[in-house]
Amino acid sequence: MRKSLIATWILGLVIAASMTCHAGLFSVSVSEQKKVGAQAAQEIERKSVILGRDLQAPKNIGGRSVDEIVSEIGTNLVSLLGPNPWSFSFKVIQNKEVNAFALPGGPIYVYTGLLKALKLESDSPREAVNMLAGVLGHEIVHVTGQHWAQQYKKDQERGLGLAIILGAAGANKSTQQVAGILNFAQSQKYSRKDEYRSDDGGIKLLNDGRRFGYDPQGVVDMLRVLDKISQDTPKSMVWLSDHPSTVDRIKRAEKKVSDLKALPLK
Ligand SMILES: [Zn+2]
């Protein structure tokens, strides 16, 4: 009897210890997210032409260049978050693909192909600025919602995603880890739920950003413009993934925006 009691205790301790171990393995702290995100940012910037660093874009929108506009919109939206632990940065990569992505911890990149798709350099860039704010708001919420860390946790629980093991020693594993994060972020491997969450969060941010002249309608307009491009030139489109479908995202965003606009102004 006593022996079996001791055995039960030992078994209990083993289970408790293994659970603690798993909790440590699965969860990725904010500082770890910032660390791996900064490593991935270094890698992407090493391989890319960054506007304002390697290539000067003409100052043709109100006397400013597109990279300055991107940075200003991003900074304005982040100011609406209030105090937060993230290290946001907003940079433009010279690349014809239609894409934008966030790395864990805060670095956010927009491709010139996306800026062109949104016609940022047109004569009346107000609508383009709104749509770009929609994209940046969406990416900001991928960071604040810790969507990469959650996906990482799920993959670990399923025994997948071992190429992005954290805390791995040695240059090879670290390189693998960075490659895994970049592949995840650039190819938009978020879950359907997280895409919806980012659309919703982006709409809310733009609504809060009315003082900067933003309009949450920008999210709907941006999804419509990008949906058209993905039909006309599907090869150039990276930002829109198949799940959830853009038609569903547009319907959902339209409803959210009209609900918000029906609320009395504070
Ligand atoms: Zn997304």
Secondary structure of 71-106 in the HEC alphabet? HHHHHHHHHCCCCCCCCCEEEEECCCCECEEECCCC
Please give the helix or strand (H or E) that residue 152 lies within, else none. Answer: helix 147-157
Most confident of 84-93, 147-156, 164-173, 181-190: 84-93
pLDDT of residue 264: 66
pLDDT of residue 184: 86
The total number of structural domains in the chain stands at 1
Q: Which tens digits make up the pLDDT trace of 12-59?
A: 444 333 333 344 456 889 999 999 999 999 999 999 999 999 999 999
Q: At what angle do helices 66-79 and 126-144 cross, to 10 degrees?
A: 50
Cα–ligand 1 centroid distance for 53 (angstroms): 26
Percent of the chain with pLDDT over 70: 83
pLDDT of residue 3: 52
Contacts from 156-164 at CB under 8 Å and sequence distance 24+? 156/25, 156/26, 157/26
Cα–ligand 1 centroid distance for 210 (angstroms): 22
What span, in angstroms and rounded, lies between the C-alpha atoms of 56 and 52? 5
| Ion ligand 1 nearby residues (CB, 5 A) | 195, 198
Cα–ligand 1 centroid distance for 247 (angstroms): 15
Residues of the domain holding 37: 30-262
Cα–ligand 1 centroid distance for 28 (angstroms): 20
pLDDT of residue 99: 96
pLDDT of residue 160: 59
Q: Strand 107-111 relative to strand 100-102: parallel, antiparallel, unpaired?
A: antiparallel
Cα–ligand 1 centroid distance for 139 (angstroms): 6
> 1 lies in a domain?
no
pLDDT of residue 152: 86
Cα–ligand 1 centroid distance for 223 (angstroms): 12
Q: Which tens digits make up the pLDDT trace of 74-93?
A: 999 999 999 999 999 999 99
Cα–ligand 1 centroid distance for 9 (angstroms): 46
Cα–ligand 1 centroid distance for 190 (angstroms): 6
Read off the pLDDT band of 241 (50, 70, 90): confident
Cα–ligand 1 centroid distance for 20 (angstroms): 31
Average pLDDT value for the chain? 86
> 3 lies in a domain?
no
> 17 lies in a domain?
no
More confident residue, 145 or 173: 145
What span, in angstroms and rounded, lies between the C-alpha atoms of 129 and 192? 26
What span, in angstroms and rounded, lies between the C-alpha atoms of 110 and 50? 10
> 19 lies in a domain?
no
* Contact indicator for 142, 190 with CB cutoff of 8 Å: yes
Cα–ligand 1 centroid distance for 165 (angstroms): 22
Cα–ligand 1 centroid distance for 12 (angstroms): 41
Cα–ligand 1 centroid distance for 101 (angstroms): 8
Cα–ligand 1 centroid distance for 21 (angstroms): 31
Percent of the chain with pLDDT over 90: 66
> 149 lies in a domain?
yes
pLDDT of residue 12: 43
> 92 lies in a domain?
yes
> 9 lies in a domain?
no
Q: Strand 89-93 relative to strand 100-102: parallel, antiparallel, unpaired?
A: unpaired
pLDDT of residue 122: 81
Q: Is the pLDDT of residue 177 over 70?
A: yes
The mean pLDDT of 82-106, rounded to a whole number, is 97
Cα–ligand 1 centroid distance for 135 (angstroms): 9
Cα–ligand 1 centroid distance for 11 (angstroms): 43
| 158 φ, ψ (degrees, to nearest 5) | -90, 0
> 86 lies in a domain?
yes
Q: Is the pLDDT of residue 258 over 70?
A: yes
